[in-house]
Amino acid sequence: MSEKPVPIRPGMHYIMGGIKTDVNGETGVPGLYAAGECANVSVHGANRLGANSLLDTVVFGRRSAEKASDYVKSVPNEDIPTKSYVERDLKKIKDIIDSEGNLRVSEVRNEMAKAMTEGIGVFRDQKSMEYAKSVVEKTKIKYRDSIKIQNKGKVYNTDLLFALELENMIDCAESIVHGALTRKESRGAHFRTDITGRNDNDWLKHTLIYKKEDGEIKIETPDVTITQWQPVERVY
């Protein structure tokens, strides 16, 4: 757990975690605070123990909310450049509504979900993870070139909602497969049937995944800072 925010960019994930934050919910993106299920304060290690989500939501949710509130009060409204973001998002929505592909969003989404479950579910190995990765890569291309939505309306359009969600799901799936393929050991919830056992010599490390502007994935594996508690195996 670090007191200082780690410099990050959107799209970064820790194994057993999410967006990296410090103990106040602060991420590396100014004004972006994360808490709860989407965040990684790094209190869980490689496996989240039962009831530990209470810690994430109650303790770090409160701390994040307080810090976010301070931040909002410290930033004048006129300094927030919203126009370009609104225009970008309106264009994205229009492009999806106008898309004329031949694949329904639900088909593409289910295909990726199935591959992720089979390839990188509870048990995984190199081959299964590579299979999941290849399906995620194909899903990205299908999402870009071949999807269509049937409902072209602008009110309560769940077709559109699912399409927008799929883009984010692809980002998450990509982070998961890259992170898992990088880690050549089994640890916590990352259980490889081809490399069983923990390897502290090489892999007592975090996994940080960044997505660059051009879409390239960057992976870093910084050391874990251990203070009072040594990592031990979960034996129940």
Ligand X SMILES: Cc1cc2nc3c(=O)[nH]c(=O)nc-3n(C[C@H](O)[C@H](O)[C@H](O)COP(=O)(O)OP(=O)(O)OC[C@H]3O[C@@H](n4cnc5c(N)ncnc54)[C@H](O)[C@@H]3O)c2cc1C
The contact set with ligand X (CB under 6 A) reads: 36-37, 50-54, 57
Helix, strand, or coil (residue 33): strand
CA distance 169 to 188: 23
C-beta closer to ligand X: residue 38 or 75: 38
C-beta closer to ligand X: residue 113 or 204: 113
C-beta closer to ligand X: residue 62 or 94: 62
| Both structure tokens of 82 | 């919203």
C-beta closer to ligand X: residue 24 or 182: 24
Taking Cα atoms as reference points, which of 39, 7, 13 lies closest to residue 180? 13
Contacts of 154 (CB under 8 A, 6+ apart): 97
Q: Dihedrals φ, ψ of 219, to 5°?
A: -120, 135
Question: Shortest Cβ distance from residue 195 to ligand X (Å)?
Answer: 28
CA distance 147 to 102: 6
C-beta closer to ligand X: residue 17 or 119: 17
Question: Shortest Cβ distance from residue 161 to ligand X (Å)?
Answer: 9
Helix, strand, or coil (residue 216): coil
C-beta closer to ligand X: residue 48 or 138: 48
C-beta closer to ligand X: residue 25 or 119: 25
| Both structure tokens of 195 | 């490399």
Please say whether the beta carbons of 62 and 130 come within 8 A: no
Question: Shortest Cβ distance from residue 128 to ligand X (Å)?
Answer: 24
| Both structure tokens of 75 | 């930033």
Question: Shortest Cβ distance from residue 227 to ligand X (Å)?
Answer: 23
Question: Shortest Cβ distance from residue 236 to ligand X (Å)?
Answer: 15
Question: Shortest Cβ distance from residue 57 to ligand X (Å)?
Answer: 5
Question: Shortest Cβ distance from residue 24 to ligand X (Å)?
Answer: 16
Question: What is the residue type of 101?
Answer: G
Contacts of 227 (CB under 8 A, 6+ apart): none
When computed from its CA atoms, the radius of gyration of the chain, rounded to whole angstroms, is: 20
- From the CB of residue 89, how many other CB atoms can be counted at a distance below 10 Å? 11
Q: Which residue is at the shortest CB distance from ligand X?
A: 36
